């Protein structure tokens, strides 16, 4: 075990993030170097990006594994979860404020 794994890292959690953000949709794009995940709150006729997360492909693999592990443990306690149906509101337009 590398020495660094045993060390504790103090993480600053900004107060503005304590309540989290709600997202009922997500768009994922990628380049060779990174995955870009935009989390959206969509309430037709409009929507807004509530968070953007950019991570490396190697870290994305770890995120997927962690999500699968947590979903498995959740379902052991609360029962099987069915995947939500894809939204039927059509495509999204991206608008950037200048």
Confidence (pLDDT) at 15: 93
How far apart CA 81 and CA 98 sit, in angstroms, is 41
Residue 58 tokens, joined: 């190697």
Global pTM?
Answer: 0.74
Residue range 33-69, pLDDT digits in tens:
999 999 999 998 999 999 999 999 999 999 999 999 9
Residue 66 tokens, joined: 């962690």
Cis peptide before 29 (omega within 30 of 0): no
- Is 53:21 a contact under the CB 8 Å cutoff? no
Residues 6+ apart with CB under 8 A from 63: 55
């Amino acid at each position: 075990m590398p020495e660094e794994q045993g060390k504790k890292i103090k993480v600053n959690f900004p107060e503005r993030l304590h309540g989290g953000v709600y997202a009922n949709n997500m768009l994922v794009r990628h380049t060779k170097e990174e995955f870009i995940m935009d989390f959206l709150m969509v309430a037709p006729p409009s929507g807004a990006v509530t968070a953007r997360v950019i991570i490396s492909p190697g870290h994305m693999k770890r995120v997927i594994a962690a999500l699968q592990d947590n979903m498995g443990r959740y379902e052991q306690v609360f029962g099987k979860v069915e995947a939500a149906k894809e939204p039927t509101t059509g495509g999204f337009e991206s608008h950037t404020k200048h």
